Amino acid sequence: MTFAVGYLTDRESSIWDLRRKMLSQAEIGRRLSITRQAVNKSLGIIDSKMEQAFQEAAEANKLEIRRINLVEGIMEAHSPAYRIPVVVSLSRVNGLRIWHLYEGRCGECGLERSCRRILLAEAEERGIRLTSDAKRIPPTLLALRVFSKYMGEDISVGG
């Protein structure tokens, strides 16, 4: 089950997308032809569902949660087993994804192309512009580039 179909309804996804664009509840209501009160109630439900998704991802992957940004759909975490930072992202285009931030051996992995495609779609959905050089760096470093905007100052790529 992915985040896109398993957690939020289409209406909730639309409301969340507009909130990510930093629109007020009143403006979201106007755009969707619903009341501000309906938007407010929906945001409470959205936040609850997203927090549950992050909690489940952390539990299933044995991660320690550091910070959750429900507006952007980003959870900063730490993997005690691997001693590295982890980002869990929720997006419409990719669903729930877990990114271990370390200097991996992407060139040796058969998933390098897939990871790059997913990260580039994530950047596009989030309005993050990447140079053509950045689009070619290894996916483990590309993930750091894409998510650095949402992460605390103390996050760096693990060894």
Tens digit of each residue's pLDDT (9 = 90 or more) over 10-45 = 899 999 999 999 999 999 999 999 999 999 999 999
User: Is the backbone of residue 33 left (phi > 0), alpha (psi -120 to 50) or beta?
Assistant: left
Judged against a pLDDT cut of 60, whether residue 89 lies above it is answered with yes
Q: How confident is the model at residue 157 (pLDDT cuts 50, 70, 90)?
A: very low
Q: What is the largest CA-CA distance in the chain?
A: 52
- Of 3-7, 46-50, 124-128, 151-155, which gets the smallest average pLDDT? 3-7
The answer to whether the CB of 79 falls within 8 A of the CB of 158 is no
Please list the residues that pair with 27 across neighbouring strands.
Answer: none
Measure the CA–CA gap between 21 and 92, rounded to whole angstroms. Answer: 14
* Average pLDDT of the residues of the chain: 88
Range with lowest mean pLDDT among 14-28, 78-92, 113-127, 138-152: 138-152
pLDDT at 159 (0 to 100) = 43
Determine the Cα angle at 90 with ends 89 and 96, to 5°: 85
Using the predicted structure, report yes or no on whether residue 158 has a pLDDT greater than 70.
no
